[in-house]
């Protein structure tokens, strides 16, 4: 596959690993914010080949993980209505609410459909004129433009039975909250490549200017990640606190102006609650007045009260990168992918889920 | 949080297009990449092209990687 | 009458008509045609392989096959990978009231075709019809018996360090086809189930070398499930090589788009064989000459390591654990 296979190259990967081992000399804490990066790093066994002094920390870039339990509970209630079809990404199906999950509700007879794209909701709405379709609009800046586009298309084609239950969040504000946390000590960031395709690199400049922390934007193939780690370690060594774009084939400095236009057209930026982290100012997206008619909460007149869904696990600290999952007392004992307690285990790209599936104790590997 | 895959644009019809990924075809939104043409590559996320892939930049990166792979490591 | 009704299942005239006009028409053979309550079979061998499987796939028709084809191939394959020559099958149908007769005929016809291809006879069966909503269209159960070959000792506890692991072709074709069709994910292309009877391929492998240690077909849970089971039963560690896994472009593309791993996706025409190193190349070449093994490939080996179960050497030079799959496969965008 073009633009994929070349960036999985064995030769390039191995060479980048060797290079990294020569240039990294002292202990470094690097945070990768994006859940898709967390998964890619585990999938390719990148932690195995990193020099011992590079500590890769997983951050809160998992939209499912940071969505409060109240969201799922409200979605479950909506799914009980006979006149409602819930359309959702597969990611949300297993997330546990107080009384079951979407998967369970589907088994009990609720009309819940997995879609690959929000645009598929347009077809579902057109084919079911007597039903009300509710799309669970979760995701960061990469996904939010699609919600806006789908709403606009619905309006233009005269569909009046499609609604969105939105929980979109944006990434740079939560990063700012993290670097301001005195308990967290970060030397650099691996920045999310596909979010950056939308927002560009400018929103990360505060890391460099205000906090003297460098960041490298990168993609998701192993060569991308290893190359970015090389760049980042060099920047840190040279005390060069810049934001560098190592994903130039996809990311422009200004991002995608059309996407930003659609985001501005449909959404207001509001304060938002991140499960396990708390309120982060100006980190959420809500439909503005012109798009209110698509808001599921308003349409169904739901009095939505948010609650995290605390459960005795240490997801909050894990999401901030303060501890790793092996330090949570529930990890692998009470909390497993089949019976997830916290949100980090629920999502397939949550830090705990990734650790559960791929992490191995260093001692055992030496057998 | 952003699973996306490069795909080749096979056809365009206004704001919609068909892309091909690994011999599979799919309808996608092209609203965010209005300047794209047939045979260009785009990055596709959840049924929407979010960026055009710059082949020139990709080749620059690959060239640098090739040079690194062929060079001696300085210890 | 164009659809199945409850009277087709009540044992009277309509049942007999259905049995004669449909099942006997397509499945006809000397044993079945005796119309006894039980098939009466004479056997002259000592070791019998005996298996059963139920099929509830949705959608019932998919690119590359249907539930009936699956029902025959699935049971034939379970017998074949046990080192047995598949001989006789039963087939029981639980049909939802209202199921189109034409569809049932297509399914039964495919079953007869697969049975003929694989050399098995369908010698007994049953038909039940249930009220609308009590079954999802059609469920089929098949049981099968086979004669275990002499000198062949295939057992999932037999894997040994040094064994080479061979698969007969590309991984994840069936499961990916079903997933995309079931969820109307809108992908178009050559995604097609690999559903096939593997007994002639297994025969060819055993003729080349009858000391193969393990053969298992990689159905639900994909190759990952099978290898984890063998690792457990044989108490061995298995190392796979990421760059050796044979995967069709279409399956790769869908897997990348949906965030799935072909190692965990179901197959219906793929087996894993554990072959001693000395005979591996020979067996591989023999497989490649067979139509169902044209893309056969070595994907890994059993190592001398202890306590590591199944892992994959990645393209980067790292390792990742290939654990036992759990829960159902769901596409993701994150």
pTM above 0.80, yes or no: yes
pLDDT over 60 at A362, yes or no:
no
Mutate to test the interface with B, among C183, C186, C251, C253 (most CBs of B within 10 A): C253
Q: Crossing angle, helix C199-208 and helix C67-80, to 10 degrees?
A: 20
Select from A269, A276, A43, A40 the least CA-distant residue to A171.
A269
The per-residue pLDDT for range A194-253, each reduced to its tens digit, is: 999 999 999 999 999 999 999 999 999 999 999 999 999 999 999 999 999 999 999 999
Please report the pLDDT score of residue A364 as a whole number: 36
Which pairing describes strands B5-13 and B41-45: parallel, antiparallel, or unpaired? antiparallel
Residues 6 or more apart whose Cβ sits within 8 Å of residue C89: C72, C75, C76, C115, C120, C121, C122, C123, C142, C143, C144
Please report the pLDDT score of residue A363 as a whole number: 40
- Is C188's Cβ below 8 Å from some Cβ in B? yes
Using CA atoms, how far apart are residues A149 and A117, in angstroms rounded to an integer?
11
Q: How confident is the model at residue A366 (pLDDT cuts 50, 70, 90)?
A: very low
- Distances from the Cα of C284 to the Cα of A116, B17, C48, angstroms: 39, 43, 28
Using CA atoms, how far apart are residues A174 and A179, in angstroms rounded to an integer?
9
> Can you tell me the mean pLDDT for B42-70?
91
Residues 6 or more apart whose Cβ sits within 8 Å of residue B56: none
Using CA atoms, how far apart are residues C261 and C272, in angstroms rounded to an integer?
17
pLDDT over 60 at A365, yes or no:
no
Give chain A's mean pLDDT: 90
Q: How confident is the model at residue C91 (pLDDT cuts 50, 70, 90)?
A: very high
- Is A82's Cβ below 8 Å from some Cβ in C? no
Q: Where are the alpha helices (DSSP H) in B4-52?
A: none
> Can you tell me the mean pLDDT for C236-265?
93
pLDDT over 90 at A86, yes or no:
yes
> Which carries the bigger pLDDT value, residue A172 or residue A181?
A172
The DSSP code sequence of A131-184 is SEEEEEEEE-TTTHHHHHHHHHHHHHTT--SEEEEEEEB-HHHHHHHHHH-TT-
Q: CA nearest B6 in A: which residue?
A: A3
SS3 (DSSP) at C119? coil
The per-residue pLDDT for range A89-139, each reduced to its tens digit, is: 988 998 888 888 999 999 999 999 999 999 999 999 999 999 999 999 999
Q: Does domain A69-168+256-299 have CATH number 3.90.1300.10?
A: no
Please state which CATH class domain C164-321 belongs to: alpha beta
Q: How confident is the model at residue A360 (pLDDT cuts 50, 70, 90)?
A: low
Using CA atoms, how far apart are residues B7 and A256, in angstroms rounded to an integer?
18
The single residue listed with the structure tokens 């409602």 is: A84
The phi-psi region of residue C120 (left if phi > 0; otherwise alpha if psi is between -120 and 50; otherwise beta) is beta
Q: Which of A43, A338, A348 sits opposite C332 (nearest CB)?
A: A348
User: Is the complex ipTM more than 0.90?
Assistant: yes
Domain boundaries, chain A: 5-64+171-245, 69-168+256-299, 315-357
- Is A283's Cβ below 8 Å from some Cβ in B? no
Please report the pLDDT score of residue A359 as a whole number: 67
Contact: C253, B21; criterion CB under 8 Å? yes
Contact: C333, A89; criterion CB under 8 Å? yes
Q: Where are the alpha helices (DSSP H) in chain A?
A: 10-23, 35-43, 46-49, 69-79, 102-107, 120-127, 144-156, 171-180, 193-199, 205-211, 222-237, 257-266, 296-299, 315-319, 343-346, 351-358
- Distances from the Cα of A34 to the Cα of A1, A177, C246, angstroms: 23, 16, 30
Please report the pLDDT score of residue A361 as a whole number: 58
H or E stretch at B24 = strand B24-29
Please report the pLDDT score of residue C307 as a whole number: 79
Residues 6 or more apart whose Cβ sits within 8 Å of residue C7: C14, C15, C129
Select from C184, C93, C175 the least CA-distant residue to C137.
C93
Please report the pLDDT score of residue A128 as a whole number: 97
> Can you tell me the mean pLDDT for C303-320?
90
- Distances from the Cα of A113 to the Cα of A129, A136, C136, angstroms: 16, 11, 17
Range list for CATH 3.30.1330.10 in chain C: 6-148
Contact between A163 and A132 (Cβ < 8 Å): yes
CATH superfamily of C6-148: PurM-like, N-terminal domain (3.30.1330.10)
Neighbouring C-alpha atoms within 13 Å toward the C-beta of C30: 3
Q: CA nearest C333 in B: which residue?
A: B3
Q: CA nearest B49 in A: which residue?
A: A146
Of the given ranges (A133-142, A162-171, B63-72, C68-77), which has the lowest mean pLDDT?
A: B63-72
Chains that touch B (3 or more CB pairs under 8 A): A, C
Chain A residues whose beta carbon lies within 8 Å of the beta carbon of residue C183? 113-116
Percent of chain C with pLDDT over 90: 79
Peptide bond into A100 cis (omega under 30): no
Range list for CATH 3.90.650.10 in chain C: 164-321
Phi, psi of A12 (to 5 degrees): -65, -40
β-pair partners for A114: A88
Q: Which of residues 37-66 of A touch B (CB under 8 A)?
A: 61-63
Please report the pLDDT score of residue A127 as a whole number: 96
pLDDT over 70 at B72, yes or no:
no
User: How far apart are the CA of A367 and the nearest CA of chain B, in angstroms?
Assistant: 31
β-pair partners for A61: A34
Cβ-Cβ contacts under 8 Å between B and C: the total is 50
Q: CA nearest B68 in A: which residue?
A: A15
The single residue listed with the structure tokens 């997330």 is: A95
Q: Which of residues 67-86 of A touch B (CB under 8 A)?
A: none
The per-residue pLDDT for range A20-51, each reduced to its tens digit, is: 988 888 899 999 988 889 889 988 989 888 99
Task: Assign domain A5-64+171-245 one CATH number from 3.40.50.11750, 1.10.10.10, 3.50.30.10, 1.10.10.60.
Answer: 3.40.50.11750
Q: Which of C248, C251, C333 sits opposite B46 (nearest CB)?
A: C333
Cβ-count burial A248-266 (b if 16+ within 10 Å, e if not): bbbbbeebbebbbebbeeb
Please report the pLDDT score of residue A70 as a whole number: 93
Q: Does domain B5-70 have CATH number 3.40.50.300?
A: no
Chain B residues whose beta carbon lies within 8 Å of the beta carbon of residue A117? 28-29, 46-48
User: How far apart are the CA of B42 and the nearest CA of chain C, in angstroms?
Assistant: 13
Angle at A3 between CA A22 and CA B7, to 5 degrees: 150
SS3 (DSSP) at C149? coil
Using CA atoms, how far apart are residues A62 and A37, in angstroms rounded to an integer?
10
Using CA atoms, how far apart are residues C123 and C90, in angstroms rounded to an integer?
6
Q: Would you give the distance in Å from CA A118 to the centre of its chain? A: 17
Chain C residues whose beta carbon lies within 8 Å of the beta carbon of residue B20? 189
Query: For residue A105, how many other CB atoms are within 10 A of its CB?
Result: 22
């Amino acid at each position: 596959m073009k633009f994929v296979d070349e960036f999985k190259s064995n030769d390039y990967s191995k060479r980048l690993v060797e290079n990294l081992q020569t240039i990294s000399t002292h202990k470094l804490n690097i945070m990768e914010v994006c859940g898709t990066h967390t998964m890619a790093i585990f999938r390719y066994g990148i932690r195995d080949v990193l020099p011992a002094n590079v500590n890769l920390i997983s951050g809160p870039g998992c939209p499912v993980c940071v969505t409060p339990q109240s969201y799922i509970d409200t979605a479950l209630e909506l799914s009980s209505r006979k006149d409602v079809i819930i359309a959702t990404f597969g990611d949300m199906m297993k997330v546990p609410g107080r009384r079951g999950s979407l998967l369970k509700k589907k088994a009990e007879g609720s009309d819940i459909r997995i879609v690959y794209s929000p645009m598929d909701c347009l077809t579902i709405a057109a084919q079911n004129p007597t039903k009300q379709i509710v799309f669970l609009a979760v995701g960061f800046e990469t996904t939010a433009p699609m919600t806006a586009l789908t709403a606009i298309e619905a309006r233009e084609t005269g569909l009046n039975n499609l609604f969105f239950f939105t929980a979109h969040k944006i990434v740079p504000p939560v990063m700012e909250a993290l670097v301001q946390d005195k308990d967290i000590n970060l030397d650099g960031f691996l920045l999310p490549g596909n979010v950056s395709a939308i927002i560009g690199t400018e929103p990360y400049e505060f890391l460099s200017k205000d906090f003297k922390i460098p960041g490298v934007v990168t993609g998701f193939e192993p060569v991308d990640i290893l190359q970015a780690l090389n760049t980042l370690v060099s920047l840190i060594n040279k005390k060069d606190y810049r934001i560098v774009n190592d994903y130039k084939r996809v990311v422009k400095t200004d991002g995608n102006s059309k996407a930003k236009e659609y985001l501005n057209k449909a959404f207001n930026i509001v304060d938002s609650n991140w499960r396990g982290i708390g309120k982060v100012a100006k980190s959420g997206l809500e439909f503005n007045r012109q798009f209110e008619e698509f808001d599921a909460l308003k349409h169904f007149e739901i009095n939505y009260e948010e609650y995290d869904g605390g459960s005795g696990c240490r997801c909050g600290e894990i999401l901030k990168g303060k501890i790793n999952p092996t330090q949570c007392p529930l990890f692998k004992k009470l909390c497993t992918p089949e019976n997830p307690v916290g949100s980090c285990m629920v999502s397939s790209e949550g830090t705990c889920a990734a650790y559960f599936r791929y992490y191995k104790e260093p001692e055992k590997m030496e057998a | 949080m952003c699973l996306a895959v490069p795909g080749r644009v096979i056809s365009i019809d206004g704001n919609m297009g068909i892309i091909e990924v690994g011999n599979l075809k799919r309808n996608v939104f092209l609203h965010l990449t209005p300047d794209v043409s047939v045979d260009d590559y785009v990055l596709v996320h959840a049924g929407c092209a979010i960026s055009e892939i710059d082949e020139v930049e990709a080749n620059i990166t690959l060239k640098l990687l090739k040079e690194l792979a062929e060079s001696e490591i300085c210890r | 009458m164009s659809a199945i009704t409850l009277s087709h299942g009540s044992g009277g005239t309509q049942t007999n008509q259905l049995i004669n006009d449909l099942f006997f028409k397509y499945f006809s053979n000397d044993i079945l045609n005796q119309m006894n309550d039980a098939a009466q079979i004479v056997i002259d061998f000592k070791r019998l392989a005996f298996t059963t499987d139920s099929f509830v796939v949705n959608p019932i028709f998919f690119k590359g096959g249907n539930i009936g084809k699956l029902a025959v191939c699935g049971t034939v394959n379970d017998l074949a990978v046990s080192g047995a020559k598949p001989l006789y099958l039963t087939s029981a149908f639980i049909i939802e009231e209202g199921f189109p007769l034409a569809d049932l005929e297509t399914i039964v016809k495919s079953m007869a075709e697969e049975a003929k291809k694989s050399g098995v006879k369908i010698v007994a069966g049953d038909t039940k019809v249930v009220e609308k909503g009590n079954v999802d269209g059609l469920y089929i159960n098949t049981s099968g018996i086979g004669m275990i070959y002499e000198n062949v000792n295939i057992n999932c506890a037999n894997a040994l360090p040094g064994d080479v692991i061979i698969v007969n072709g590309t991984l994840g074709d069936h499961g990916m086809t079903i997933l995309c069709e079931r969820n109307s994910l809108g992908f178009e292309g050559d995604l097609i189930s690999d559903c096939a009877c593997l007994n002639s391929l297994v025969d060819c492998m055993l003729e080349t070398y009858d000391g193969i240690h393990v053969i298992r077909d990689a159905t639900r849970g994909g190759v990952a499930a099978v290898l984890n089971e063998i690792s457990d039963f044989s108490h061995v560690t298995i190392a796979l090589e990421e760059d050796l896994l044979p995967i069709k472009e279409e399956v790769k593309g869908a897997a990348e788009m949906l965030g799935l791993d072909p190692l965990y996706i179901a197959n219906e025409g793929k087996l894993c064989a554990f072959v001693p190193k000395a005979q591996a190349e020979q067996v591989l070449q023999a497989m490649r000459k067979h139509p169902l093994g044209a893309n056969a490939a070595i994907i890994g080996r059993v190592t001398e390591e202890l306590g590591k179960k199944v892992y994959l050497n990645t393209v980067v030079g790292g390792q990742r654990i290939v654990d036992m799959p759990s829960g159902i496969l769901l596409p993701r965008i994150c």
